[in-house]
């Protein structure tokens, strides 16, 4: 009987010593959670890229239309604000202003009276304002854009036979849609890749210097592809 009690006492001492040893062991801390990226705030940045424009310049007296596609470099800046309404959804507004090198001189065309006409078009600058609708996967943001834009265009129609020409510079507006992706490099610096389409309204200008009662009409659409960097406050 004494042997049984001795065995029980030894077992209790072993359990107690094991518990004390476990209590003395350091407790490993739980791994820290990486905080979700915060997209909310004002930002300002710069962009550069390429653009191509499809345009029709029509002399309404002769019915001649100059159609051309011309490409060039765009570059400028943007400013905006993001509001992260949930961990996944981001709303915002953004304005951009870019200068361009988009220009083209069209082929010459001979009209009914034998005169030879030539048209040329140049886009001087592009400005846009748009709402952004984004889906955030931590520091990666996919977004769409919708809004409006303005383009200052210089256009010339020249009668190469008589030497007379009509030149004008005007700003016309249109609608904008686009899409892109933006990546948070640091809490303050982001980088974006974006495509935008700007559809412009028609613009008609008096061209009586060419023919009495004549007008010319410009139709234009612009595609833009750019990369940009933003600093978020």
Residue 54 has a pLDDT of 77
pTM of the predicted structure, to 2 decimals: 0.71
The CA-atom distances, in angstroms, between 166 and each of 2, 48, 51, 139 are 122, 32, 26, 52
Domain span holding position 184: 41-232
Look at residue 8 and tell me if it is in a domain.
no
Look at residue 212 and tell me if it is in a domain.
yes
| CATH, residue 171 | 2.40.160.20
What would the pLDDT profile of 152-206 be if each residue is shown by its tens digit?
A: 877 777 777 776 766 666 788 999 999 999 999 999 999 999 999 999 877 676 6
In DSSP notation, 51-114 reads EEEEEEEEETTTTEEEEEEEEEEEEEEEEEEEEE-SSSEEEEEEEEEEEE--EEEPPPEE-TTS
Look at residue 153 and tell me if it is in a domain.
yes
Place of tokens 């959670």: 33
Contact 174, 219 (CB under 8 A): no
Residue 5 has a pLDDT of 47
Q: Name the band, by pLDDT with cuts 50, 70 and 90, for residue 64.
A: low
**Of the candidates 134, 122, 131, 145, which has an alpha carbon nearest to the alpha carbon of residue 195?**
145
What would the pLDDT profile of 32-55 be if each residue is shown by its tens digit?
A: 555 689 999 999 999 999 998 876
d(CA 208, CA 137): 58
Query: How many structural domains comprise the chain?
Result: 1
Look at residue 106 and tell me if it is in a domain.
yes
What is the pLDDT averaged over residues 96-109?
A: 78
């Amino acid at each position: 009987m004494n042997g049984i009690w001795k065995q029980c006492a030894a077992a209790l001492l072993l359990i107690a010593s094991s518990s004390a040893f476990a209590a003395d062991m350091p407790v490993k801390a739980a791994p820290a959670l990486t905080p979700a990226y915060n997209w909310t705030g004002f930002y300002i940045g710069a962009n550069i890229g390429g653009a191509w424009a499809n345009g029709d310049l029509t002399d309404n007296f002769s019915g001649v239309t100059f159609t051309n596609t011309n490409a060039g470099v765009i570059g400028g800046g943007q400013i905006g604000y993001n509001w992260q309404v949930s961990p996944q959804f981001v709303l915002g507004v953004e304005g951009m202003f870019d200068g361009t090198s988009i220009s083209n001189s069209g082929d010459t065309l001979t009209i009914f009276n034998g005169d030879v006409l030539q048209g040329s078009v140049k886009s001087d600058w592009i400005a846009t304002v748009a709402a952004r609708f984004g889906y955030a996967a931590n520091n990666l943001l996919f977004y769409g854009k919708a809004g409006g834009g303005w383009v200052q265009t210089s256009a010339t129609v020249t009668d190469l036979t008589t030497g007379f020409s009509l030149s004008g510079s005007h700003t016309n507006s249109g609608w904008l849609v686009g899409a892109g992706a933006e990546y948070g490099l640091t809490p303050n610096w982001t980088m974006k890749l974006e495509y935008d389409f700007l559809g412009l309204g028609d613009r008609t200008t008096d061209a009586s210097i060419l023919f009495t009662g004549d007008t010319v009409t410009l139709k234009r659409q612009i595609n833009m592809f750019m990369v940009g960097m933003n600093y978020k406050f």
